[in-house]
Structure 1
Amino acid sequence: MERGHAVRDISFDLPQGKILCVIGESGSGKSVTANAVMGLLPPLMRVSSGEILFQGRDLLALDESSLRELRGRVVSMIFQDPLSALNPLMTVGDQVIEVMAAHNEGAPQSRKARAVELLTEVGLPDPALMLHQYPFRLSGGQRQRVMIAMALALEPDLLIADEPTTALDVTTQAQILELIQQIQRKKGMSVLFITHDFGVVAEIADQVIVMEKGLMVEQGDADSVLSAPQHPYTKRLIAAVPRLNKNNRAAGLDLCGYDEAPVLAVENLNKIYRSGGGWFRRAREVNAVQDASFNLWRGRTLGVVGESGSGKTSLGRLLIKLLDSDSGRILYRGQDVARMKEKDFRPLRPKIQMIFQDPFASLNPRSTIGHILTVGPIAQGMKSAAAKSKALGILEKVGLDAGVLGRYPHEFSGGQRQRVGIARALMFDPDVLVADEAVSALDVSIQAQTLKLLDDIQRETQVAMFFITHDLRVASQICDEILVMQKGRIVESGPPSQIFHAPQNAYTRELVAAIPGRDHVLQTA
């Protein structure tokens, strides 16, 4: 049933110098609340009643000119997706300087010096060089730091952070959270921090508000809400937070075990990215994957973890031949597919499928779900009626009904779109599933449902899964064995109990130490 309000009867206070976390699932009204404070609600949405008092003034009663003067100078915001929020045609330095220029702050030369100072403050390497870089050349964590620098350019009194760490790896996430805390304490700012992860709440919050379907269902100081939640919805959110398992994944799959040959055997795989270069310049080389070797077994999940840029996604794309390797072997049931030409590999492609990180970007917005699911099998020779019948069976398996066949991707929630992405991969009865950050952008409750779905599917079909993630808690839940990657190399491998509770490599220890809320009771399981 649709509701007639985005948010209703929301009341809270944010004391000076405190961090207030607003937590809830997608659609709970968190971002609408933040955008109302900033005066950034879309034209079709208006505030029907209430007031937002800031330093004695009702922000809802101010005209656009007065709001524009407040934004950036008094109230500033860090947006969830820095790549979308940053201008791709402007350098990082120009975008930081633009904030100051818009408010006539300082002279051109002093603005540039201030921009370097801000980039230094947020921990970006070589700030003077960084000024001249474009957003697409930066990592996700670096782009988020640029957004923070822009938000802090005029030293606002209130900082609003809308899911600033959702898609970041654990070490970058820990650095961003620490950075926000340091700046907040140093400048005495108030922070309104929006998140769906109670692990993040445990790290930084002084106070917490829990929202569900536009209503505020619980509020209090962070320790009280975390240790003794009162509302059933809060309890469900906390229960859905992935725990760092102490034990290995439960056995019970109907397997021949390691007696049989692996479905996929990777031997000394290498991939180098080359860019730039010319007559008088050497090409820039990045060793994306270096001497990777491992086996993937039927009915088992092999996880790969590491920071952004460690080579996880590159390795996954090599396995399904979206990228060509430079050297090494990928043996699929004894055949070396690494050296195969596309025309030779095409008959095998259905058996190695990928679940992409962003289901909205990977699903054709102009195609119905029925077409998305059946076009591949039909291209492989399946009859249309058989493909439709199979699609209906797969949809039931992933928890969607037959009515979705005629609908389009934009009509679904993020969790439902991810289920469609999983269904599309399963249409080919694959032997190998490569899941690339398949749950990273989902709410914790939807994430838990998706992980259970993948586990159920694997137990039923015995598919081998290569699971790429930056969330070590998720990896401990679903993986039988884990590879840890750093700068293209596998630096450690083993079962979750070893990787997370007795890591041998210093880099692995850093990753484990950076898990948000790791020392809180939430993380024990």
Structure 2
Amino acid sequence: MSDSPHTDTGRQTALSVRGLEIGLPAGMERAHAVTGISFDLVRGKILCIIGESGSGKSVTANAIMGLLPKAISVLSGEIRLGEAEIVGMAPDALRALRGRAVSMIFQDPLSALNPLMTVGAQIDEVMAAHGVGTRATRRGRSLELLAEVGLPDPTRMIHRYPFQLSGGQRQRVMIAMALALEPTVLLADEPTTALDVTTQAQILTLIRDIQRRKGMSIVFVTHDFGVVAEIADTVVVMEKGYIVEQGTAEQVLKSPRHPYTRRLIAAVPHLTGTDRVPLAVADTEPVLVCEGLVKTYGGGKSLFGKSLLGKSLFGKLLTGKQNSVRAVDGVSFSLKPGRTLGIVGESGSGKSSLGRLLTRLLESDGGRILFEGRDVARMSEAEFRPLRPKIQMIFQDPFASLNPRTTIGTSLTVGPVAHGMPAATAAEEARALLSHVGLDAGAFDRYPHEFSGGQRQRIGIARALMFKPKVLVADEAVSALDVSIQAQILALLDRIQRETGVAMIFITHDLRVASQICDEIAVMQKGRVVELGPPSQIFLNPRSAYTRELVAAIPGG
């Protein structure tokens, strides 16, 4: 199959893109977001657009929806949706098409949903905006849609707000809204990136099932070839605004021709099932021991008489039966220098709460945290402050954790200087660390918005290393990164650990990633560790039924 668009005139196309060129504002690293791209979406099929950040895949999806920001414009080309030409279409005509002919599922449903409106009101709004039905019929349709996307108890769910739902439930609400007017084309922009493996598998199955039942045509934007293997009929591979390869999913996955495609496929993490060779370190005594750690959320009342609980407790909010729950329930483990313990589990399993307890960003309700033999869980903040530099955290979203108003140099040096390091020494060490994590010397004087996601994560790692910590807690540190950038960050963490002997707690929902970097893996479910062992046990011979479910849900597995 050639790299040109489909030319079989006997096969109808739901969407046709021809010679599309989209310009970028002056001063960007390149002049065009996409250049001369052409492809067809066959009716009733799923087309995956795959590429790294900056490849132009999301810009293409937004152009099809007519949702490009004002700073970005279509310079030339055609986007034909059935018989309608999107490029140059009047705003009123575009609004009439959105929802009816083409709908979109966004990557972050929490940002895309209105936090002040109930789920039912937001689905109703989609239909009301197009003058569809009466209030009563729209309510009935909303209930049907919530049931269709697999949400429990639609009559109760329709009255809930987005913050009361889990990530997977919010994504199902977004799908319900997108289906409200029975569009012929559905655009899904990275709809499963932030979801755990079991929820991701459920959403992929749901999208594929809806597509088959309704004969819908879908453009699925992703950076994960594991997802492509699960769902795609045809694939378009994009690099820096160009299409470098396209064809059937089988052809692209099994016989990729372009070097870029081969690199992307090679970068996808796979379950190794092989245990890491232990790092030789001088000190073999555990640096961190956790004994029976407990954290309970809830118990307080809001103005509305419900518990003010975290997102992981959405089930309790929905039922209203309890107002407290143990997010971390009797967790115990030990960690030696130079070793990495993976914490895996679904959303709501308690893994991020555990990470925050270990760094004292949360206070525990019971149990002990022994750091170098001292119980830090019972220390006052004043007692713990001298030890805080030795237990550092790498956050999931480095952009949110960096101050946008200060330079990278300031972000790296302010903590050490506050703990007594001379400013000149701190600046010298910060520059050396930036170089060590693969950034140039000029990064010191630049601001967070000037860096890519992968570069910001390198900055987050450098900031954590400024204190020469004994323990690093990495909370979903690579979950939002492209597979190739993800592989680079994993290699960087491995190299740093081998050079410094630092112990790591690696929290992730991606079991493939955990198998690459962890010496031991703790599987958490509802606050408890249900299985603890080396990768060979967890992935090849899991003892817990829950672990077996997680392994079976891995995309492309």
Q: Deviations over 1:463-497 (max 9, x none)?
A: 00000000000000000000000000100010001
Matched, 1:264 2:303: no
**Contiguous gaps of at least 5 residues in structure 1:** 519-525
User: CA shift at 1:48, angstroms?
Assistant: 0.9
Report the 3-state secondary structure (helix = DSSP H, G, I; strand = E; otherwise coil) of the residue aligned with 2:155: helix
Report the counterpart of residue 390 of structure 2 in structure 1. 351
Residue in 2 aligned with 1:181? 208
1:14–1:20 CA contact under 8 A, matched in 2: yes
Cross-structure match for 2:317: none
CA offset at residue 2 of structure 1?
2.4
Amino acid in structure 2 at the alignment position of 1:435: A
Question: Which residue of 2 is the match for residue 89 of structure 1?
Answer: 116
Are the counterparts in 2 of residues 249 and 476 from structure 1 also a CA contact under 8 Å? no
Distance in 2, Cα, partners of 1:491 & 1:329 = 19
Match of 2:380 in 1: 341
Pairing 1:290–2:329 present: yes
Q: Secondary structure at the match of 1:60?
A: coil
Q: Distance in 2 between matches of 1:309 and 1:127?
A: 22
Give the Cα–Cα distance (whole angstroms) in 2 for the partners of residues 79 and 342 of structure 1: 41
1:382 and 2:408 correspond: no
Shift of the 449–282 alpha-carbon distance from structure 1 to 2, 3 Å rule, reads closer
CA distance in 2, matches of 1:456, 1:145: 40
The structure 2 residue matched to 1:498, chosen from 520, 524, 537, is 537
* Counterpart amino acid of residue 424 in structure 2: A
Distance 1:35 1:230, change over 3 A: same
User: 1:318-343 CA deviation, whole Å, 9 max, x = no partner?
Assistant: 00000000000000011000011101
- The SS at the match of 1:269 is strand
Alpha-carbon distance in 2 for matches of 1:132, 1:261: 53
Choose the corresponding residue for 2:255, options 216, 221, 228: 228
From 342, 348, 352, the counterpart of 1:313: 352
Counterparts of 2:360 and 2:496 in 1: how far apart (Å)?
Answer: 24
Alignment of 1:435-514 (within 5 A): 435-514=474-553
Q: Equivalents in 1 of 2:243, 2:179: separation in Å?
A: 29
* Matches of 2:43 and 2:191, distance apart in 1: 21
- Structure 1 match to 2:222: 195
Give the letter for the 1:177 counterpart. Answer: L
> Could you list the per-position Cα deviations for residues 179-209 of structure 1 after superposition, in whole angstroms to 9, with x for gaps in the alignment?
0000000110000000000000000000000
Give the aligned length: 515
Q: TM-score, normalised by structure 2?
A: 0.91
Aligned residue number for residue 54 of structure 2: 27
The answer to whether 1:129 aligns with 2:178 is no
Structure 2: unaligned runs, 5 residues or longer = 1-27, 308-322
List aligned pairs for 1:398-417, cutoff 5 A.
Answer: 398-417=437-456
Structure 1 pair 329–214 and aligned structure 2 pair: CA distance change class (3 A): same
Instruction: Give the corresponding residue for 1:431.
Output: 470
Match of 1:373 in 2: 412
**1:396 alignment partner, one of 422, 435, 438:** 435
What's the secondary structure of 1:10's corresponding residue? strand
Counterparts of 2:257 and 2:57, CA distance in 1? 20
Q: Report the equivalent of 1:303.
A: 342
Aligned-partner Cα distance in 2 for 1:68–1:292: 52
Distance of 1:408 and 1:280 partners within structure 2: 42
Q: Deviations over 1:42-83 (max 9, x none)?
A: 112111111111212211132111110110111000011111
- 2:554 is aligned to 515
Q: Which structure ranks higher in relative contact order (CA pairs < 8 Å, sequence separation ≥ 6)?
A: 1
CA contact (8 A) 1:7 1:33 kept: yes
Whole-angstrom distance in 2 between the partners of 1:456 and 1:279: 50
**2: CA distance, partners of 1:246 / 1:360:** 33
Displacement of 1:278: 7.8
AA paired with 2:49? V
CA–CA separation in structure 2 for the residues paired with 1:299 and 1:184: 48
Q: Which residue of 2 aligns with 1:523?
A: none
Rounded Cα–Cα distance in structure 2 between residues aligned with 1:254 and 1:91: 55
Question: 1:344 & 1:223 partners in 2: Cα distance?
Answer: 59
Give, as a single letter, the amino acid of the residue that structure 2 aligns with 1:407. Answer: R
CA distance in 2, matches of 1:81, 1:161: 11
Percent identical among aligned pairs is 71
- 1:274 and 2:298 aligned: yes
Q: TM-score, with normalisation over the residues of structure 1?
A: 0.96
The structure 1 segments of at least 4 consecutive aligned residues displaced by more than 2 Å after TM superposition are 275-283
- Offset of residue 133 of structure 1: 1.3
2:187 alignment partner, one of 160, 178, 182: 160
Cα deviations across residues 376-396 of structure 1 (Å, max 9, x unaligned)?
Answer: 000000000000011011111
* 3-state DSSP of counterpart to 1:50: strand
Alignment of 1:32-43 (within 5 A): 32-43=59-70
1:277, distance to aligned residue in structure 2 (A): 3.4
Match of 1:11 in 2: 38
Q: Secondary structure at the match of 1:160?
A: strand
CA contact (8 A) 1:244 1:477 kept: yes
In the other structure, the counterpart of 1:521 is: none
What is the alpha-carbon distance in structure 2 between the residues aligned to residue 125 and residue 255 of structure 1? 51
Of the candidates 265, 283, 286, which is equivalent to residue 238 of structure 1?
A: 265
- Residue of structure 1 in register with 2:280 after alignment: 254
**Inter-partner Cα distance in structure 1 for 2:232 and 2:220:** 8
- Give 3-state SS (helix, strand or coil) of 1:159's partner: strand
In 2, Cα distance between equivalents of 1:122 and 1:493: 34
